[in-house]
Amino acid sequence: MDLKPITVGTVNDEVRDRLHRWIASGSLSPGTKISIRSIADSLGVSTMPVREALRVLQAEGLVTFERRSVTVTRLTKDQVAQVFQIRLRLEQLATEWAIEQVDDDDIADLEEILDRMGAGDIGVEEWRNLNQDFHRRFYDCASSPHLLDLIRNVWDKVEPYMAIYASTVDDFREAHRQHLEILSLIRARDLAGLLTKIEEHLDYTARTISQAL
């Protein structure tokens, strides 16, 4: 975890962003109890901005305030499956809108991201970041900030479990094969095939996480 003292002016936002990154990356894994005092000391701030940042994360569903503690939200297998179903519906809608506007420059960007993801020496954290970049770059073509905000909100809830996924699989070859198929369908502007493939891709990811849990 990045424990450099925070010196920027927007302390509350920076504390929230730092905690959010730790939760998303799995550094603070689901079920972990958070010590407000320890976090404040490690970041060089008072407990107030930490507490306020945690309240924001609570509203986003990422932490849970209990009687005397704060815990990183831990989803059950059924809840993870539900979140992936929500994600599927939103991403299929984004796909329908994006496929109508995607152009050759967009496809070139997607190809470049997949080339980097296919590197044999890629690390888990870099792969996870590029995985989000790949999907987000395509959904950007939908030109719907409101829809993208909803998708990002769902991603926030599932991202800690993507860390579990990334640490569970032996390698990323299967995921990479599926991404290449998705790109091929985007290139062909094959909406029906693309909707089916995205459902298969998310189902594969959800099943892998469920088995790990």
Pull the structure tokens for residue 23.
């939760």
140, pLDDT greater than 90: yes
Residue 113 is predicted with a pLDDT of 97
Percent of the chain having pLDDT more than 90? 59
Q: What is the pLDDT of residues 7-50, one digit of tens each?
A: 555 788 899 999 998 988 888 888 999 989 999 999 999 999 99
What does the buried/exposed string (b/e) look like for 10-47 if buried means 16 or more CB atoms within 10 Å of the residue's CB? ebeebbbebbbebbbbbebebebebeeeebbebbebee
Averaged pLDDT of the chain: 89
Confidence of residue 120 (pLDDT cuts 50, 70, 90): confident
Assess if residue 2 is contained within a domain: no
Q: What is the pLDDT of residues 100-117, one digit of tens each?
A: 999 999 999 999 999 999
| Ramachandran category for residue 44: left, alpha or beta (phi over 0 → left; psi -120 to 50 → alpha) | left
92, pLDDT greater than 90: yes
Please tell me whether residues 140 and 51 are part of one structural domain: no
Q: What are phi and psi of 8, to 5 degrees?
A: -75, 165
165, pLDDT greater than 80: no
Domains contained in the chain, number: 2
Q: Higher pLDDT residue, 69 or 8?
A: 69
Q: What is the enclosing helix (H) or strand (E) of 134?
A: helix 124-139
75, pLDDT greater than 80: yes
For residue 52, the domain's CATH number is 1.10.10.10
Please tell me whether residues 49 and 90 are part of one structural domain: no
Please tell me whether residues 121 and 37 are part of one structural domain: no
Please tell me whether residues 82 and 152 are part of one structural domain: yes
- What average pLDDT does range 55-68 have in this prediction? 88
Q: Are 37 and 47 in contact (CB under 8 A)?
A: yes
Sheet holding 33-34, edge to edge: 33-34, 70-72, 63-65
Residue 1 is predicted with a pLDDT of 63
Confidence of residue 94 (pLDDT cuts 50, 70, 90): very high
Residues sharing a CB contact under 8 Å with residue 182, sequence separation 6 or more, in sequence order? 194, 197, 198, 201
Residue 24 is predicted with a pLDDT of 84
Helix (H, G, I), strand (E, B) or coil at 70: strand
Please tell me whether residues 26 and 122 are part of one structural domain: no
Contacts 24+ apart (CB under 8 A), 88-91: 88/198, 88/199, 88/202, 90/147, 90/150, 90/151, 90/154, 91/135, 91/139, 91/151, 91/198, 91/202
4, pLDDT greater than 70: no
Assess if residue 195 is contained within a domain: yes
**Structural domain harbouring 25:** 11-72
Assess if residue 6 is contained within a domain: no
